[in-house]
Structures are given as structure tokens and as C-alpha cells.
């Protein structure tokens, strides 16, 4: 069974950067689309970026486009989310998730992802 563990969250000032990692184990990552989602207090969990099985295709939510970059290293069974120019509204718990649904990387919808990590807190504040 695929297991996912996020790391790299923390407290950062506005304009700063963080890199989140999603380490996977249990089965090979090669067949899974991976998504990063976030959930702020009182809000629904939203998809912010997803990547196809080999990393050649990515999508981003408008709110993070141009600031965040998703990537993956299947040899290391790890997916990354580089977050630059962070804003207070980026404050949330960030989750990575995996999907065997073929179109999941493009839809980036929570319903298409069946395996989830426990989340890592990102707080952007001065």
C-alpha cells in the first residue's frame, strides 16, 4: 500500500520560500499521478498543483501559478513543491496525494486522489 509523508513546512515571512517534500513508500511511484492540496482554516481542501506519472505534465491553480513549481524524482520516490513569493493567504495545511486515475494530473480534483499524507503546516506571517 502506498504511503505518503510530507515534510518541509514551517513559518516563513511574506515573500519567502519553502520547499515541501512528499516521500512515498510501499509501492513504486511510477504509476501514480501526484497532487498537492491545501486546506486553510474554515475552507475546503483545494488542489493547487498536480503532476503526471513521469513528470512531463503539470497543472497549477491560478492562485499559485508563477510562484509554485511541482516536480518529481521517481528514482527517489519523492515529489516536491517549491513555493516562492509566499503570501499570508498561502497559510494552510499542505497535503500530498496519489492517484491511479489516468486524468487525475489534469483535473487535480480531490475526489480523484485516494491516498493521502498527514499534511504539513505552512504559515506565512511577519
What cell does 102 get? 489516468
Q: Does residue 112 contact residue 103 with C-beta atoms inside 8 Å?
A: yes
Beta strands in 26-75 (DSSP E): 33-39, 46-51, 58-60, 68-73
Q: Tell me: the pLDDT tens digits for 25-80?
A: 888 889 999 999 999 999 999 999 999 998 889 999 999 999 999 999 999 999 99
* pLDDT of the residue at 28: 87
Q: Which residues of 6-36 are buried (b: 16+ CB within 10 A; e: fewer)?
A: bebbeebeeeeebebbbbbeeeebeebbbbb
* pLDDT of the residue at 20: 98
d(CA 21, CA 62): 21
Residue count (the chain): 126
Amino acid at each position: 500500500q502506498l504511503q505518503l509523508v510530507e515534510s518541509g513546512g514551517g513559518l516563513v515571512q511574506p515573500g519567502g520560500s519553502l520547499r515541501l517534500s512528499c516521500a512515498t513508500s510501499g509501492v513504486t511511484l511510477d504509476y501514480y499521478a501526484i497532487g498537492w492540496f491545501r486546506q486553510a482554516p474554515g475552507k475546503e481542501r483545494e488542489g493547487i498543483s498536480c503532476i503526471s506519472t513521469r513528470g512531463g505534465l503539470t497543472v497549477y491553480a491560478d492562485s499559485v501559478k508563477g510562484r509554485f513549481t511541482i516536480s518529481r524524482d521517481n528514482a527517489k520516490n519523492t515529489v516536491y513543491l517549491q513555493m516562492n513569493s509566499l503570501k499570508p493567504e498561502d497559510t494552510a495545511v499542505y497535503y500530498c496525494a496519489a492517484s491511479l486515475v489516468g486524468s487525475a494530473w489534469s483535473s487535480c480534483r480531490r475526489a480523484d486522489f485516494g491516498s493521502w499524507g498527514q499534511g504539513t503546516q505552512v504559515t506565512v506571517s511577519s
